[in-house]
Structure 1
Amino acid sequence: FIYKADLDLKKHKASDICSLIKASDELSIDVLNEHILEFVSQNANRLINEDPVQILQIIFQLDIFSNLRNTFLQIICDNPEKLVNFENFYTLDKYTLIQLLKRDDLKMEEVIIWYNLLDWACYNVRDEQEKLDLKEVEKWESGDFATLKDILKDFIPHIRWFQISGKDFWYNVKPFKEALPEELYDDLLGYNIDKSVELKSFVILPQRNKNKIPAKLIIFFISHAKNRMSKKAPIT
């Protein structure tokens, strides 16, 4: 017997659609895969708005969506708050987050990107009972910084460090000195004293965005990241 049914994906939530995508891929249902691919391509904004973490991870996990990856990243780059303010942002996988950080068109001030990365990294500490609190960094021990350094090491090359102002470096990067490569920190310190200093650790990456965000908004976003981190409950 052959059964046929109409599937209206518009009636389903993004999380349900993601579950269906996984099941369809595992079962290799070609007709359903084609239907889902068409729906996802036509409803990218809606899916991002509902569940940016799940949909991004699905897009990067399954080859069927390879041609849509740039489209979805572009949506996030234009409105990164949709992702970083999402309640489950910290569950985004490392690979997908790195793909986002590689983008030159990510429309967010670099110091805000840095603080959201810290937020993500602190929550992804392996010891669930010892989450690092960004609001109490002065209480951290050497082992805490070593743990953070290990989590951040693959992200470090993708941060546009030299787009961070001297003031933001002092207040928002310097406290995490022990989590950074020594040569990078020395370069940042030297660069903020003398812009003509010869850099030893990094090639300066292209400027990520040219439209500056007002200082008051930068302070707000950093404060928001700190407060969000302190409110998160440990994963059980």
Structure 2
Amino acid sequence: MTTKFFDRLSNDLSQLLEDPIDYNVTIEFGEAPNNQIFKVHSYILQSRSRYFKKKLNETPFNKDHIKVLTATNTSISIKIFNVIIKYIYGGIISLEKLEDSTIFDLIIASNELELDELAEYLKTYLVNNHASWLTLKFAQIYRTSYRVQNLKIIKKVCNDIIAKYPSTIFESENFYSLPEGALISILKKDNLQLVESKIWEYVIQWGKVKNPILPTNLEEWTIENFSTLKTTLKQCLPYIRYFSFSHEDVLEKLFPYQQILEPKLFLDINTKIMAPNKPISSKIFPARTIPDSNILTIEHSLEILSWIDRQEPYYTGNIRYKFELLVRGSRDGFNVKNIYNICDKISNTIIVLKVEGTGEILGGYNPLQWNKEKIGRNHTCDSFAFSLKTSNLKNSILSRVKNYNYGIGYNSSISWFSFGHTLVLRGNLRTSKLSYCRINGESFDTPIRSAGLLGLIHCPPSSDKCAFNVEEYEVFKVSKRNDLK
């Protein structure tokens, strides 16, 4: 048995900082009479910081056997270094009384001094507890991350904020002061949680702000006006996911600005609408996905949430729910029993499946708790099954529970789970070929597969036509976010 006395160790080392017996390094900050000299120990500094290890190896002892460091080429203030040196000695830091700007400066200082553990902790703390300040100062922070090339930790802060609060960033007045390179880096993100047409609107507005001479009324625009906007947005336009636009948004959002798009691109966008299977030459970027999903796009997640809330159309700003990944087949295994074991006693879950061979995305919403001990049908009026829009399915299909006594079916002992008979999952989802959908009017109101892929009564395992395997599946816990102001 090993016993660890870390509290006493931390206290003793902190006392050594207060009473620096046998110190052999001095670090001077500022100029007299407002300067401060820290008397510290080389072994502690070198063991805690790669920066100090390198610096001290390069610095000789003076005649008094002291290594003298002068903090001249640094932005670290005396106040900030006081906090950091206490962390270096005692492993303790108190943030409660510090201003948000001070914590941000601490991240920069920790990064400069190669204190990776502290920098990562401060980044997470700032993102999780002070998001409102970060979004308010986002443009300034993002510019800092690009000005200081090795400031990777600040880029991570920005990436976290962008992923969590995209519309807050885009709607900030500071957004329009972002440099082009910063905007492009945002547009490249695959998990930007906004529908593509909304991203397009923000980019268009950014370009207009850069050209205040452009007429306010689009009907008054000349060819030269469109040419000006196209030139401004030339480097940004390639990163819009045009083929993720809904047909309505192509008409309402893209069509008015078609003159800033290359003619071939606009033709290909319309070709995909009118003849989806016809090949095109334009590059098709993958649709943006929600964080931690290999299956769901942003549009998919918004549609599912609108069904949960029973409201349409759904909002297009920040996603006000969070999808917490619980199970993934390729990571956790494909047997339905694995879902029961991992999700037991968890409610409000979405399961999504990518069907092998067809590209269909099927799934359902279970508002009840998963229960590996229960067998049989369970009452709920809120469950539903679905087939999501893909390149082969023009519109998603929603099937709500009709007979509330058949809302959810459980049987962990035989690896079985169901949304009535509208979607039934059995065995190993990847290899057993026991999962199926069937024509059923008694429990859910709409079939979620085409007639040719539906079983009439009990199709598996005798009917290969309606039974299916999956390439991948995911289960998410869906809950409202409490981090949006």
Which bin holds the TM-score, normalised by the shorter protein? 0.7 to 0.9
For residue 137 of structure 1, what is the aligned residue in structure 2?
218
Tell me by how many angstroms 1:197 deviates. 2.3
1:198 & 1:172 partners in 2: Cα distance?
Answer: 24
Aligned to 1:217: 315
User: Given the alignment of the two structures, is residue 6 of structure 1 paired with residue 79 of structure 2, yes or no?
Assistant: yes
CA contact (8 A) 1:59 1:69 kept: yes
1:184 is matched with: 265
- Correspondences of 1:91-170 after superposition (within 5 Å): 91-125=177-211, 128=212, 130-133=213-216, 136-170=217-251
Counterpart Cα distance in 1 of 2:313 and 2:226: 28
Q: Are the equivalent residues in 1 in contact too, given 2:230–2:261 (CA < 8 A)?
A: yes
If each structure's helix is expressed as a fraction of its own residues, which one has the higher value? 1
Larger relative contact order, structure 1 or 2 (CA cutoff 8 Å, min sep 6): 1
Post-superposition offset of 1:6: 2.4
Matching residue's letter, 2:203:
L
Higher relative strand content:
2
Taking the aligned partners of 1:17 and 1:92, their CA distance within structure 2 comes to 23
The separation in 2 between residues aligned to 1:132 and 1:11, in whole angstroms, is 46
> 2:136·2:172 contact (CA, 8 Å) conserved in 1?
no
Which residue pairs with 2:126 in the alignment?
A: 43
Rg comparison, structure with higher value: 2
| Structure 2 residue 170 is the aligned partner of structure 1 residue 80 | no
Q: Structure 1 residues 113, 183: closer, same or farther in 2, change over 3 A?
A: same
Distance between the aligned counterparts of 2:119 and 2:251, measured in 1?
Answer: 47
Give 1:59 deviation, angstroms.
Answer: 1.3
Please say if residues 162 and 169 of structure 2, whose CA atoms lie closer than 8 Å, have aligned partners that are also in contact.
yes
Q: Find the counterpart in structure 2 of residue 227 from structure 1.
A: none
Change (3 A) 1:165 1:67: same
Q: Could you tell me how far 1:78 is from its partner in structure 2?
A: 2.3
AA in 2 matched with 1:59: S
Partners in 2 of 1:67 and 1:163 — Cα distance? 31
Q: Tell me the percent identity.
A: 23
Query: How big is the shift at 1:12?
Result: 4.8
Q: Does 1:171 align with 2:274?
A: no
CA contact (8 A) 1:52 1:82 kept: no
CA distance in 1, matches of 2:98, 2:215: 40
Contact 2:141 2:154 in 1 (8 A): no
| Equivalent-residue separation in structure 1 for 2:267 and 2:275 (angstroms) | 12
Amino acid at match of 1:76: I
| Structure 2 spans left out of the alignment, 5+ residues | 1-31, 38-77, 84-94, 290-296, 304-311, 319-485
Shift, 1:205, TM fit: 0.9
User: Out of 283, 291, 296, which is 1:203 matched to?
Assistant: 283
Amino acid aligned to 1:87: E
Q: Is the 8 Å Cα contact of residues 166 and 192 (structure 1) preserved in structure 2?
A: yes
SS of alignment partner, residue 121 of structure 1: helix
Q: Which runs of 4+ in 1 moved over 6 A?
A: none
Aligned with 1:6: secondary structure? helix
Which whole-Å CA distance do the structure 1 matches of 2:103 and 2:177 have between them? 18
Deviation at 1:132, TM superposition (A): 4.3
* More moved, 89-98 vs 69-78: 69-78
RMSD: 3.2
Measured after TM superposition, the shift of residue 42 of structure 1 is 4.3
1:80/1:166 Cα in 2 relative to 1: closer, same or farther (>3 Å)?
A: same
Superposed displacement of residue 138, structure 1: 1.4
Unaligned runs of 5+ in 1: 222-236
Question: The residue matched to 2:181 in structure 1 has which SS?
Answer: helix
Separation in structure 2 between the aligned mates of residue 180 and residue 99 of structure 1, nearest angstrom: 20
